[in-house]
Amino acid sequence: MYEDPKSKISELERVLDAREDLVTKKIKRHELHDRDSNIKQDWDDNGSIVGAEISSSTSGEEESVIVASEDKKKISFPVKILIGSAVFFLVAVLIVAYNFIMGGNIVSGNNIEMTVKAPISVAGGEVVSFELEINNNNNTTLVGADLGVTFPLGTKDGVDATKEIKRVQTYLGDILPGQSVKKNLSVILFGVENEKKQIDITLEYKVAGSNSLFNKTKSVTILISSAPVSLVVTGPTEVNTNQSVDYNVEITSNSPTIIKNLLLKVDYPFGFVFSGSNPKTFTKNNLWLIGDLEPGAKRTIKFYGILSGQEGEERGFTFSLGAQSKSDNQVIDTPFSSSFSSVTIRRPFVSADIFLNGVDSAELVSRAGEKVDAVIKWQNNLPYEVSNVSFAVKINGNSVNKSSIQVSGGFYRSIDNTIIFNKTTNPALAVLEPATAGESGFSFNSFSAGSVTGGGLINPTITLNILVNGSRVDYQGGQDQVLFSDSRKIKITSDPQLSAKALYYIGPFKNSGPVPPKAEKETTYTITWTVVNPLNNLSNAQVSAILPPYMKWLGAVSPSQEKVDYDGGTGQVTWSLGNISAGAGSVSPPKEVSFQVSLLPSVGQIGTSPDLIGEAILTAKDSFTLTPVSDSSASLNTRLSSDPYFKANDEVVAQ
């Protein structure tokens, strides 16, 4: 494009004529003088550069003027790299944006459609069939697709109900653009009623040209509309403190398939003491192993115990039913059903507390043949009078010696083993004013251990059931019946007997040495211990005694399989019997052992009958009453009273 040279010249003139230096912004001062200027009228080859330096000399001095522009600066290398990187990033963004808009080979999880066809709710224990469908709506292939389905705890296989399923993994392979893949599954879900079960689905895949693993997830929730087993609990809503309470638990299968390894757990409230159940507990007195339950099958659990507490307190029993854990057989892995039963403790209108041998307890342990003193302490707890009060005590159990029963202020009716206290036997019971209290008593003995036979040999028990009757006039003037019941249990513990004897002429061993024994001469003897156990099974039974220092343990034991140990340091002989069955010595042979010892009398023992062994002590534990039992037998000396061939005075040590 052509540019008028005059415009450049005019601009240069303006710069030169200005009083202020347009570059340094300083005021210029010049002397005025004449000079000759040779200015060309056109551009020559060397050309005058517009905006360049113009110079002239005056009086030998050279003057320079800088105008208009600076030298062109150079760009550094780091700046060039930064500019290049920015350009590369911009190009990459443009390429990605282009591929995103135009489609390309980019895979988006939003373009993968996962559809689950499953019921919203199912009954627990019912087979659930559902279909998974995966649609690839991307323009590229899903490479190596792998489908994983995770099920809630306790899920079973729909084909084999004994097989537990936690996760199902299925390799689908490549899923092409627009392709649909379906997978059918069937399982059995368990849970409590109205419980929500979540199934998690995960699809993992790759894309061509990449090693990265991508995934798409989806969750499905299914409601358990009804429990696979029903749990019905029947029990009291009100009880008197220290009164026995009974519970009935009915379990019914609602599942069309077998339910495996059912476990029932009951959490007892504070103040409840478990007494027993039918069937027996699995462990810990609050677990019952139900086992496998067929479709429609029923199981019934009954248990009872004593509940104590303060008046007005509410206590709750929690019942849980589910599948037994494989890792811990005392834990419910998958809960199926639960129930809660509450009971209120109230104070009876007329209380009647039974004290046995001075103790107010639900249970008493008594030795066979021992006397039991019973006292009924009664009181009117109402603000109104109670009339026609009566107490009936029913005695159950074949261990009671009827001829030993004695009653104070009452009557024993032997035909039905009932003791009666009423206004006829005690006029004070005709009318009980508010807060009136009194006592009635009776006593009895159990049969001695030797007289009990048959079924009474194992776990003999005496139960006292008391029933209180009376009438009261309420605040409206109406008649109301006063009822109260309570019970006490007496467990008869075993009374084992230990006997010991010393022998010389008879027994399993051949003895030697002088009889009578002589000083400084060795004589051997046989010691025999015999244990009889008339009642209940015993555990951890053992007999022990000490040998005097002048006696010697010879190590001979008969029968040889009996476990008899000797401690040379203490001189103690110990016979470990372990378990002893009820009836040993009556319906079965007694437990017996013999061992051999020797006596070496000193001259200081001449004229005496030295002990061969000290007192023998039997200790054991009654497996029914869970109480320790014991017996003892006196020490044995050289007077062999149990040996038929022993002669008088043969026990005295001779010179």
- The residue with greater pLDDT, 327 or 96, is 327
Same domain, 562 and 627: yes
pLDDT band at 479 (very low <50, low <70, confident <90, very high): low
Give the CB-side neighbour count of residue 517, counting CA atoms within 13 A. Answer: 31
Q: Residue 9 pLDDT > 90, yes or no?
A: no
Same domain, 191 and 233: no
The answer as to whether 77 is a domain residue is no
Find the mean pLDDT for residues 621-649: 95
Of the three residues 226, 251, 277, the one that is the final residue of a domain is 226
577-607: per-residue pLDDT in tens?
Answer: 999 999 999 889 999 999 999 999 999 999 9
Question: pLDDT value at position 481?
Answer: 67
CA atoms of 461 and 459, how far apart (whole Å): 6
The answer as to whether 411 is a domain residue is yes
Of the three residues 492, 523, 553, the one that is the final residue of a domain is 492
Q: Residue 70 pLDDT > 70, yes or no?
A: no
> Could you tell me the residue range of the domain that residue 40 belongs to?
5-65
Q: Residue 101 pLDDT > 60, yes or no?
A: no
With helix as H, strand as E and coil as C, how does 473-493 read?
Answer: ECCCCCEEEEEEEEEEEEEEE
pLDDT band at 347 (very low <50, low <70, confident <90, very high): confident
Edge-to-edge strands of the sheet including 437-446?
350-356, 371-380, 437-446, 400-408
Q: Residue 365 pLDDT > 70, yes or no?
A: yes
The answer as to whether 148 is a domain residue is yes
Of the three residues 166, 192, 226, the one that is the final residue of a domain is 226
Question: pLDDT value at position 650?
Answer: 94
Same domain, 203 and 236: no
CA atoms of 188 and 123, how far apart (whole Å): 9
Same domain, 355 and 483: yes
CA atoms of 540 and 496, how far apart (whole Å): 13
Same domain, 193 and 317: no
Q: Which residues, listed in sequence order, are joined to residue 112 by a DSSP beta bridge?
A: 136
The answer as to whether 74 is a domain residue is no
CA distances from 24 to 71, 118, 130 (A): 16, 86, 88
Compute φ and ψ for 517, nearest 5 degrees. Answer: -65, 150
Conformation bin of residue 86: beta by default, left when phi > 0, alpha when psi is -120 to 50:
alpha
The answer as to whether 440 is a domain residue is yes
CA atoms of 602 and 597, how far apart (whole Å): 16
Same domain, 485 and 354: yes
Question: pLDDT value at position 595?
Answer: 98
- The residue with greater pLDDT, 163 or 424, is 424
Q: Which residues, listed in sequence order, are joined to residue 216 by a DSSP beta bridge?
A: 203
Provide the sign of the torsion angle of the four alpha carbons 556, 562, 563, 567, taken in this order: negative
pLDDT band at 59 (very low <50, low <70, confident <90, very high): very low
Q: For the CA atoms of the chain, what is the radius of gyration?
A: 53
Q: Residue 298 pLDDT > 70, yes or no?
A: yes
Q: What is the DSSP letter of 204?
A: E
Find the mean pLDDT for residues 184-205: 85
Looking up tokens 């303006």 gives 14
Q: Residue 623 pLDDT > 60, yes or no?
A: yes
Find the mean pLDDT for residues 50-65: 40
Q: Residue 521 pLDDT > 90, yes or no?
A: yes
The answer as to whether 329 is a domain residue is yes
Compute φ and ψ for 399, nearest 5 degrees. Answer: -95, 0
Q: Which of 135, 217, 131, 143 is nearest to 181 (CA)?
A: 135
Q: What is the DSSP letter of 90?
A: H
pTM of the model: 0.52
Question: pLDDT value at position 57?
Answer: 40
Amino acid at 526: T
Q: Which residues, listed in sequence order, are joined to residue 283 by a DSSP beta bridge?
A: 287
Q: How far from the centroid of its chain's Cα atoms is residue 588's Cα?
A: 42
Amino acid at 437: A
Question: pLDDT value at position 568?
Answer: 94
Q: Residue 36 pLDDT > 70, yes or no?
A: no
Same domain, 236 and 289: yes
- Among 20-29, 35-44, 96-105, 138-147, top mean pLDDT goes to 138-147
CA atoms of 315 and 364, how far apart (whole Å): 26
Provide the sign of the torsion angle of the four alpha carbons 82, 88, 93, 96, taken in this order: negative
Q: Quick check: helix, strand or coil at residue 102? A: helix
The DSSP result for 226-293, as a single string, is: E-SEEEEEE--SEEETTEEEEEEEEEEE--SSPEEEEEEEEEPPTTEEEEEEES--SBTTTEEEEEEE
The answer as to whether 302 is a domain residue is yes
CATH number for the domain spanning 123: value is 2.60.40.10
Find the mean pLDDT for residues 532-557: 96
Same domain, 239 and 206: no
Same domain, 384 and 484: yes
Share of the chain above pLDDT 90, in %: 48
Based on the structure, what is the number of domains in the chain? Answer: 5
Q: Which residues, listed in sequence order, are joined to residue 521 by a DSSP beta bridge?
A: none
CA atoms of 243 and 437, how far apart (whole Å): 20
Same domain, 38 and 9: yes
Give the CB-side neighbour count of residue 414, counting CA atoms within 13 A. Answer: 8
pLDDT band at 41 (very low <50, low <70, confident <90, very high): low
CATH number for the domain spanning 370: value is 2.60.40.1530
302-326: per-residue pLDDT in tens?
Answer: 999 988 888 788 999 999 998 888 8
374-407: per-residue pLDDT in tens?
Answer: 999 999 988 888 899 999 999 998 889 999 999 9
CA atoms of 618 and 630, how far apart (whole Å): 5
Same domain, 432 and 457: yes
Same domain, 535 and 622: yes
The answer as to whether 60 is a domain residue is yes
Q: Quick check: helix, strand or coil at residue 137? A: coil
- The residue with greater pLDDT, 274 or 452, is 274
For residue 439 the two structure tokens come to: 């006592």
For 162, other C-beta atoms within 10 Å of its C-beta total 11
- The residue with greater pLDDT, 578 or 282, is 578
